[in-house]
Chain A
Amino acid sequence: MGEFFNIFIKAAFIENLVLAYFLGMCSYLAVSKTVNTAFGLGLAVIFVLGITMPINWVIQTYLLSEDGLFGTDLTFLRFIIFIAVIASMVQLVEMVVEKFSPSLYAALGIFLPLITVNCAILGGSLFMVSREYNFSESIAFGLGGGFGWFLAIIAIAAIREKIRYSNVPPALRGLGMAFILTGLMGIAFMSLMGIDPAAFASAAE
Chain B
Amino acid sequence: MLLRLYVSGQAPNSVAARQTLQTALREGVSGDVSVELIDVFEDPRQAASDGVLVTPTLLRIEPEPRLAIVGNLGDGQRLRRWLDLTPMDSTV
Q: Do A and B come from one complex?
A: no
Residues of A in contact with B (beta carbons under 8 Å apart): none
